[in-house]
Amino acid sequence: MKKRIHAYFSGRVQGVGFRFTAENIAKGLGLTGWVRNAEDKTVEIVAEGDENSLEDFLTRLNDYFSQYIRDRDVDWQEPSGEFGDFRIEF
């Protein structure tokens, strides 16, 4: 089943390759959406794909950046289908 996540990661998540790693993981899992640095020093992600792939995406990010992530807030939503790929937004 297709789902959408809107997530915020806080901690020391900027300047450690978080966006580039998220993009690579998302593309490898066939997800669509985007990742960007927010002005409040968090990283924001909107991603769509099948639920298992989204859960795998979140697990991989947590595993890879566990020493940098202080908190995460994930909101599960219905997908919009608006994205053609996954990209880094600047």
Catalytic residues: 19, 37
Q: Provide the strand spans (E) within the chain.
A: 2-11, 32-37, 43-50, 69-77, 86-88
| Sign of the dihedral through C-alpha 69, 8, 35, 57 | positive
Instruction: State which H helix or E strand residue 18 sits in.
Output: helix 18-28
- Give just the sign of the alpha carbon dihedral 9, 11, 14, 19: negative
